């Protein structure tokens, strides 16, 4: 028994990869488990547009009926965005073979998207936030952190939400050999806010400087990734004290209800939207678009 090739690369993406023109991968868990409909689909479309504005071709990655797609059609985006989240498996490294074998629908996390991007030959990937070490649960460590240590893809994001233990998350990244870059900042962003109060490993201010770092990592043949953190645009930054209150409340509720494992992050993200009366969605959308733009610019610098 043999499986068909698991990757279906959209024609435009395949052409760009052969021609060595810039491509940026995008994940799909943010669409199925991170944002509510219809903002999820609207934001996915807007993020693709900002990757183009930055000078690269977007390739959103997801699994539909056991086939991995690299580059989705508008119909496929709408399909995923309207499915109930319980019917779409959230896919990190461990889940990918299962979803293929059982021909399920799957949304790729940061970890899952890095694996597929690397298989397809895509070096850059943009998203909102990565997973990390959960507050009060030091053994609930997102698979994103180990994937960054073992797959050579550069992830452009706005750091991690402070639903996580950010100092512990930084330590695990260091252990895994992942350099944390601040793009135009000395401080590690905390998703809704521009600073977590923690430092980054290095500040870089231009797409060219990041591209040079990626080239150097490649020259060393290190099979690990790099994290480039971009603060939410100032206009959309949320109040740090308010977010801290809301996140403390949401994590306490999750603990009280026994919500853990793969369900923890999606539940907390949804609760934060409720507790901010939807205001956090605007910040979320703004930073996703901005990260798409920056990743597009870095991808363009990389191939030039
Ligand atoms: N953080 C966000 N938004 C998200 C996620 C994280 O602010 O949508 C998603 C990403 O796909 C990330 C995943 O890879 O959640 C991490 O889940 P876990 O903590 O279960 O590894
Ligand atoms: Mn987890």
Question: What distance in Å separates the CA atoms of residue 182 and residue 166, rounded to the nearest whole number?
Answer: 15
CA of 148 to the centre of ligand 2 (A): 15
Burial state string for 5-24 with b = 16 or more CB within 10 A and e = fewer than 16: eeeebbeebbebbeeeebbb
User: What pLDDT does 3 receive?
Assistant: 58
Contact 116, 61 (CB under 8 A): yes
Query: Is the Cβ atom of 113 under 6 angstroms away from ligand 1?
Result: no
Q: Which CATH class is domain 7-302?
A: alpha beta
Question: Active-site residues: which are they?
Answer: 27, 161
Contact 269, 34 (CB under 8 A): yes
Residue among 209, 220, 142, 221 at smallest CA distance from 181: 209
Ligand 1 atom closest to the CA of 109, numbered from 1: 11
Q: What is the pLDDT of residues 203-257, one digit of tens each?
A: 999 999 999 999 999 999 999 999 999 999 999 999 999 999 999 999 999 999 9
Ligand 1 atom closest to the CA of 27, numbered from 1: 11
Q: How many CB atoms lie within 10 A of CB 266?
A: 16
CA of 109 to the centre of ligand 2 (A): 11
| 231 token code pair | 């603060």
Q: Is the pLDDT score of 2 beyond 80?
A: no
- Distance linking the first and last C-alpha atoms of the chain: 43
Contact 293, 26 (CB under 8 A): no
Q: What is the pLDDT of residues 40-54, one digit of tens each?
A: 999 999 999 999 999
User: What pLDDT does 93 receive?
Assistant: 98
Question: What distance in Å separates the CA atoms of residue 55 and residue 210, rounded to the nearest whole number?
Answer: 15
CA of 90 to the centre of ligand 1 (A): 9
Q: What is the pLDDT of residues 234-245, one digit of tens each?
A: 999 999 999 999
User: What pLDDT does 163 receive?
Assistant: 87
CA of 134 to the centre of ligand 2 (A): 7
User: What pLDDT does 119 receive?
Assistant: 97
User: What pLDDT does 1 receive?
Assistant: 58
- Three-class SS of residue 218? helix
Residue among 287, 198, 291, 190 at smallest CA distance from 242: 190
Residues listed for the chain? 304
Ligand 1 atom closest to the CA of 191, numbered from 1: 7
CA of 265 to the centre of ligand 1 (A): 6
Question: What distance in Å separates the CA atoms of residue 210 and residue 139, rounded to the nearest whole number?
Answer: 32
- Three-class SS of residue 87? helix
Query: Is the Cβ atom of 231 under 6 angstroms away from ligand 1?
Result: no
Query: For 23-43, what is the mean pLDDT?
Result: 96
288: alpha, beta or left, given left = phi > 0 and alpha = psi -120 to 50?
A: alpha
Query: Is the Cβ atom of 128 under 6 angstroms away from ligand 1?
Result: yes
Residue among 226, 144, 160 at smallest CA distance from 193: 160
Query: Is the Cβ atom of 132 under 6 angstroms away from ligand 1?
Result: no
User: What pLDDT does 248 receive?
Assistant: 92
Question: In the chain, what are the domain boundaries?
Answer: 7-302
Q: What is the pLDDT of residues 47-103, one digit of tens each?
A: 999 999 999 999 999 999 999 999 999 999 999 999 999 999 999 999 999 999 999
**Mutation test residue for ligand 1: of 26, 127, 131, 261, the one with most atoms within 8 Å of CB:** 131
Question: What distance in Å separates the CA atoms of residue 24 and residue 52, rounded to the nearest whole number?
Answer: 9
Bridging pattern class, strands 7-9 and 180-183: unpaired
Q: Is the pLDDT score of 7 beyond 90?
A: yes
Query: Is the Cβ atom of 135 under 6 angstroms away from ligand 1?
Result: no
Residue among 46, 67, 69, 21 at smallest CA distance from 289: 46
Query: Which residue's CA is minimally distant from atom 1 of ligand 1?
Result: 129
Query: Is the Cβ atom of 164 under 6 angstroms away from ligand 1?
Result: no
**Mutation test residue for ligand 1: of 85, 106, 109, the one with most atoms within 8 Å of CB:** 109
- Three-class SS of residue 136? coil
Residue among 13, 17, 25 at smallest CA distance from 62: 25
Q: Is the pLDDT score of 152 beyond 90?
A: yes
Q: Is the pLDDT score of 116 beyond 70?
A: yes
Task: State phi, psi for 200 to the nearest 5 degrees.
Answer: -90, 175
């Amino acid at each position: 028994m043999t499986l068909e090739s698991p990757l279906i690369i959209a024609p435009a993406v395949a052409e760009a990869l052969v021609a060595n023109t810039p491509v940026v991968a995008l994940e799909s868990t943010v669409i199925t488990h991170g944002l509510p409909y219809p903002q999820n689909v609207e934001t996915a479309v807007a993020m693709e547009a900002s990757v183009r504005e930055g000078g690269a071709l977007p390739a959103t990655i997801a699994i539909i009926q056991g086939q991995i797609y690299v580059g989705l059609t508008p119909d496929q985006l709408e399909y995923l965005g309207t499915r109930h989240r319980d019917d779409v498996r959230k896919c990190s490294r461990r889940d990918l073979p299962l979803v293929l074998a059982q021909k399920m629908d799957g949304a790729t996390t940061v970890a899952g998207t890095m694996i597929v991007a690397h298989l397809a030959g895509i070096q850059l990937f943009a998203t909102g936030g990565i997973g990390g070490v959960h507050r009060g649960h030091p053994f609930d460590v997102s698979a994103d952190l180990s994937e960054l240590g073992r797959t050579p893809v550069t992830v452009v994001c706005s750091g991690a939400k402070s639903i996580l233990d950010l100092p512990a998350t930084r330590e695990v990244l260091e252990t895994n050999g992942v350099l944390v870059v601040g793009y135009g900042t000395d401080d590690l962003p905390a998703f809704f806010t521009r600073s977590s109060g923690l430092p980054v490993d290095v500040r870089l201010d231009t797409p060219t400087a990041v591209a040079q770092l990626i080239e150097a990592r490649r020259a060393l043949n290190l099979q690990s990734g790099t994290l480039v953190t971009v603060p939410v645009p100032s206009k959309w930054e949320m109040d740090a004290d308010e977010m801290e209150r809301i996140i403390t409340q949401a994590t306490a509720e999750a603990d009280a209800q026994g919500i853990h494992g793969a369900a923890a992050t999606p539940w907390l993200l949804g609760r934060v939207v409720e507790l901010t009366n939807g205001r956090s969605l605007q910040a979320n959308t703004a930073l996703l678009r901005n990260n798409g733009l920056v990743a597009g610019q870095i991808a363009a610098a990389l191939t030039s």
